[in-house]
C-alpha cells in the first residue's frame, strides 16, 4: 500500500502542484498532510487560498481519478489559523475531498489514523495551535500559549491548564496502537527530527535549546509504541542532522519538513514502514 506524506507546504503553489502531479501519476492509497498548509501567517487570506486553490485542486483530482482517488488525511499546523478549521470541515462534509483528523481517529483499512496539530510554545505570535507541553514551562525566548494572537476566542484559564500530554492521553485512551498511524505537526523532543538552527544563540544570556520538539510526544511514542508517527514543523532538521527517519523502539517516526523550495515527499507502506523513502521534487 503506497502512502504519501507531506508537511509545511505553507501555501506555496509550486509545492502543491508537484504533489498533485505525483498523486495523479502514482495514485497512492492515502495522502497525509501534516500541517502548515496555508500561506505564512495570513489569516485574512486563508479562506481565498483554501477555496480558490487548495480545495479546487483536490476536487479536480477527485473528479479525474474517480475510484482511484486517495484517502486524504489532514491536520493544521502552528502557522495556520484556527478560524480556517470550519472551512476545512465544510469541504470535508460537502465534497469529501479530505478528512480533517485533528483530535480524531479514523479507520484506514486495518490501520487507525490519529491526528494532532498542537505544538509546544514557540517564539511566534500565532498561538492558535500551541499548547503547554507537559507543564506550564516556557523555553527562553518563547511566548506562552495564552498570549500572542488567537483567531478564535478561547477561555484563558482553559489554555493555561491544557497540555499536549493530557490531550494525547484523552485521544488515545487505552487503545491498542500497534497498527496506528499518528499524524502530528510537532516532532518528538531530542531526536534527529526536532533539531533547530539555534546553535550558539542566547536570550538574556541563556543559551537556547537546539531541540524544539515535544517531550510529551516523545514520552507518548516510547510508552505507547504506535506503528508509525508522521511529523513536520522544524524545517531545517533534516538538513542539519541528515536524518528524516528515526526508530523509537518499535515505532518508525518520519519527517517531511524541509527548508528548501522543493516539496519533500515521503512515501511509505504501513506494512513496511522502515522502507520509507523521501525525495525532493
- Give the tens place of pLDDT for each residue, 47-66: 689 999 999 999 999 999 99
Could you give the 3-state DSSP secondary structure of residue 267? strand
Q: Give me the domain span that covers residue 22.
A: 3-280
How far is Cα 94 from Cα 99, in angstroms, rounded to an integer?
11
Task: Kindly state the percentage of the chain with pLDDT values over 70.
Answer: 98
Number of domains in the chain: 1
CA distance 72 to 173: 24
Average confidence score pLDDT of the chain = 95
pLDDT in tens, 192-249: 999 999 999 999 888 999 999 999 999 999 999 999 999 999 999 999 999 999 999 9
The CATH number assigned to the domain holding 74 equals 3.60.21.10
CA separation for the pair 40, 53 (Å, rounded): 15
Fill in the DSSP letter of residue 205: T
Q: Which residues of 246-262 are buried (b: 16+ CB within 10 A; e: fewer)?
A: bebeebbbbbbbbeeee
Model confidence band, residue 44 (pLDDT cutoffs 50, 70, 90)? very low
- The pLDDT, as a whole number, for residue 43 is 46
C-alpha cell at 55: 480545495
Residue 277 backbone dihedrals phi, psi, to 5 degrees: -125, 160
Amino acid at each position: 500500500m503506497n502512502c504519501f506524506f507531506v508537511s509545511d507546504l505553507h501555501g506555496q503553489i509550486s509545492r502543491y502542484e508537484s504533489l498533485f502531479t505525483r498523486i495523479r501519476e502514482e495514485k497512492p492509497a492515502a495522502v497525509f498532510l501534516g500541517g502548515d498548509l496555508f500561506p505564512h501567517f495570513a489569516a485574512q487570506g486563508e479562506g481565498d487560498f483554501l477555496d480558490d486553490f487548495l480545495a479546487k485542486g483536490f476536487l479536480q483530482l477527485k473528479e479525474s481519478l474517480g475510484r482511484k482517488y486517495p484517502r486524504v488525511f489532514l491536520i493544521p499546523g502552528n502557522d495556520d489559523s484556527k478560524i480556517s478549521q470550519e472551512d476545512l470541515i465544510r469541504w470535508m462534509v460537502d465534497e469529501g475531498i479530505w478528512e480533517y483528523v485533528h483530535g480524531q481517529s479514523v479507520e484506514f483499512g486495518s490501520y487507525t489514523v490519529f491526528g494532532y496539530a498542537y505544538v509546544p510554545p514557540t517564539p511566534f505570535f500565532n498561538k492558535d495551535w500551541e499548547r503547554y507541553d507537559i507543564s506550564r514551562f516556557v523555553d527562553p525566548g518563547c511566548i506562552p500559549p495564552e498570549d500572542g494572537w488567537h483567531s478564535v476566542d478561547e477561555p484563558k484559564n482553559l489554555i493555561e491548564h491544557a497540555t499536549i500530554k493530557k490531550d494525547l492521553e484523552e485521544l488515545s485512551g487505552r487503545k491498542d496502537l500497534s497498527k496506528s498511524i499518528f499524524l502530528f505537526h510537532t516532532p518528538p523532543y531530542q531526536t534527529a527530527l526536532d533539531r533547530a538552527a539555534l546553535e550558539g544563540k542566547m536570550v538574556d544570556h541563556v543559551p537556547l535549546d537546539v531541540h524544539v520538539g515535544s517531550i510529551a510526544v516523545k514520552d507518548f511514542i516510547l510508552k505507547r509504541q504506535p506503528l508509525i508517527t508522521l511529523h513536520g514543523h522544524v524545517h531545517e532538521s533534516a538538513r542539519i542532522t541528515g536524518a528524516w527517519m528515526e526508530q523509537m523502539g518499535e515505532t518508525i517516526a518520519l519527517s517531511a519538513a524541509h527548508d528548501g523550495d522543493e516539496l519533500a515527499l515521503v512515501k511509505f507502506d504501513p506494512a513496511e514502514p522502515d522502507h520509507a523513502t523521501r525525495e525532493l521534487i
